[in-house]
Structure 1
Amino acid sequence: MLRYVLDRVKSSVVVLLVVSIITFAVLMIIPGDPAQLILGTEATPEMVQELHAAMGLDRPLYQQYLGWLNDLLHLDMGTSYVYGESVKSLITGSLPVTLSISVFAMIIAVFLAFLFGMLSAIKKNSIIDYFSRSIMQLGTAIPSFWIGMVFIVYFGLKLKLFPVSGFVPLSDNFAGFIKSITLPSVVLAIGETGTLLRIVRSSMLDSLNQDYMDMAKVKGLGARKVYVKYALRGALVAPLTIIGMQFAKLAGGTVVVETIFSLPGLGRLVLSAVEHRDIVLLQGLVMFITAMVIFITLAVDVLIMFINPRIKSFQRGE
């Protein structure tokens, strides 16, 4: 298992290196002069040239890349052109917002998907099964921005149960924190529940058709032990993989939801960096999000190995 983890870490480092090259190259060829954007249209050519030199943009591209990569290795992502702050501090300030709504959304989605997915598989072709299938279709078909606007109008403006914008840090007010993340988290959860529910249902159906399930029933084991200990455990691999992918996607920035609810998270930070062509900030965000996605994926793979002994045996070559 240790060898497997080390191999994955090595491949992750290679992926990060490739992503860094692609990110640097793509952002360098995007039209527009960062120095000109910072100084404005009234800046003289001499002023632009001086800022070029100060930013290191007058050096060859390979020297710029190697210098940027060296700074990354020392956890220095540079300073944002637009905000005038270090990229690290901007990410640190935005990350709690995105993680809060992502974690809360995944908790809701996992609970609903496993509840209805298991019931749908156990009670196949029943009313609960048809209801679960409807949830699958609605969750994947309805756009998140439309759900967000409906929630804002009904739960925020009409019933006044939740704030329609802004974020309250957990350290300031727990109740305010929960209220500020509830609506955006539910909107995100609706979009993720449909896909995850479908995977849970199909995995449970496959697990229920295995030979060991017939043996468990013949032994006279209780329904809870049969469905939870045996069927669910055998059906966890695919759902856990999807959960990891979904959480990595959400944690990487939820631009639409954060924009609708005016949340200062990673998604809005990415949007702002793109709008202002803040190359330094964009480069730092891309590398940070990529590293976070790789870490989450690796953690999920290791967790699956612990849960499913067959994968562990396969890695040992048994």
Structure 2
Amino acid sequence: MFNYVLDRLKSSIVVLFVVSIITFFVLMIIPGNPAQLILGADATPEAIQELHVAMGLDRPLYQQYFSWLLDLLKLDMGKSYVYGESVTVLIAKSIPVTFSLSIFAMIMAAFIAFLFGMISAIKKDSIADYFSRSIMQLGAAIPSFWIGMVFIVYFGVKLKLFPVSGFIPFEVNFFRFIKSITLPSLVLAIGEIGTLLRIIRSSMLDSLKQDYMDMARVKGLSSFKIYIKYALRGALTAPLTIIGMQFAKLAGGTVVVETIFALPGLGRLVLTAVEHRDIVLLQGLVMFITSTVIIITLIVDISVMFFNPRVKSFQQGDL
């Protein structure tokens, strides 16, 4: 297992290096002068040229890249053109919002998907199964922005149960934090339930067909032990992988939901950086999001090895 983790870390470093090259050079060749963007349309050519040189933009691209990479290794991602703040600080401020949103959304999605996915597999071709499959289709078909608007109008404006915008940190007021994060998390969860429910149902059906399930029934074990201890454990590999992928996607920022609910998360930063062509901020965001996805994927793969001995044996070369 140690060798597997070490190999994954090596490959992750290579991926990050390749992504850094692509990110830097693609964004730097985009038409437009960063100095012009910072100083504005009324700036004189002399002022623009002076700032251009001061920022080191007159140097060859490869020199700019290595300077940027060295700063990146020191967690210095530069200063945002739009905000005038350190990109590292901006990302650090946004992480609690996006990660809170992602964690709550995945907890909701996993709970609902596991509940209905297991019932659907155990009661195959029953009314419960058809109902669960309908949930799959609805979750995949309804756009998140439409669900968000409906929730805002009904739960926020009409019933006044939840705030319609903004984010309250949990250290300020835990109860208000829960209220501020509930609606956007639920909107995100609905979008993830369909895929996860389908995978859980399929994995449970495969697990229920295994020989060890027949042995468990012959031994007279209770239904709870059969379905939870044996069937569910044998079906966890694929759902855990999907949960990890979904969380990694959400942790990278959810532009639509964060915009609808006016949440100051990574998604809003990405949108602002794109709208204002803030290259430094975009570079930092891409590298941070890539690193987050790699770390989460590695954690999920290690978790799968613990839950499924067959995967562990395969990784160790026993099969």
Q: TM over 0.5: same fold?
A: yes
TM-score, normalised with respect to structure 1: 0.99
Q: Are the equivalent residues in 1 in contact too, given 2:123–2:129 (CA < 8 A)?
A: yes
Q: 1:315 offset after TM fit, Å?
A: 1.8
Counterparts of 1:1-318 in structure 2 under 5 Å?
A: 1-318=1-318
Gapped regions of structure 1 (runs ≥ 5): none
CA distance in structure 2 between the partners assigned to 1:19 and 1:265 by the alignment = 23
TM-score, normalised with respect to structure 2: 0.99
Q: 1:102 offset after TM fit, Å?
A: 0.6
Q: CA offsets, 1:162-221, max 9 Å, x none?
A: 000000010111111001001000000000001100000000000001111111111111
Q: 1:62 offset after TM fit, Å?
A: 0.1
What is the SS of the residue equivalent to 1:5? helix
Aligned length: 318
What is the SS of the residue equivalent to 1:99? helix
CA distance in structure 2 between the partners assigned to 1:101 and 1:146 by the alignment = 18
Q: 1:306 offset after TM fit, Å?
A: 0.7
What is the SS of the residue equivalent to 1:32? coil
CA distance in structure 2 between the partners assigned to 1:258 and 1:97 by the alignment = 9
Percent identity, please: 80
CA distance in structure 2 between the partners assigned to 1:158 and 1:55 by the alignment = 51
Q: Are the equivalent residues in 1 in contact too, given 2:37–2:81 (CA < 8 A)?
A: no
Q: CA offsets, 1:2-57, max 9 Å, x none?
A: 00000000000000001001101110121211111111111111111111111111
CA distance in structure 1 between the partners assigned to 2:134 and 2:226 by the alignment = 27
Q: 1:314 offset after TM fit, Å?
A: 1.3
Amino acid paired to 1:133: R
CA distance in structure 1 between the partners assigned to 2:126 and 2:315 by the alignment = 40
What is the SS of the residue equivalent to 2:161? coil
Q: What's the C-alpha RMSD, in Å, of the aligned pairs?
A: 0.6
CA distance in structure 2 between the partners assigned to 1:273 and 1:211 by the alignment = 55
What is the SS of the residue equivalent to 1:282? helix
Q: Are the equivalent residues in 1 in contact too, given 2:78–2:280 (CA < 8 A)?
A: yes
4+ aligned runs moved over 2 Å, structure 1? none
CA distance in structure 2 between the partners assigned to 1:127 and 1:316 by the alignment = 43
What is the SS of the residue equivalent to 1:109? helix
Amino acid paired to 1:283: Q
Amino acid paired to 1:195: T
Gapped regions of structure 2 (runs ≥ 5): none
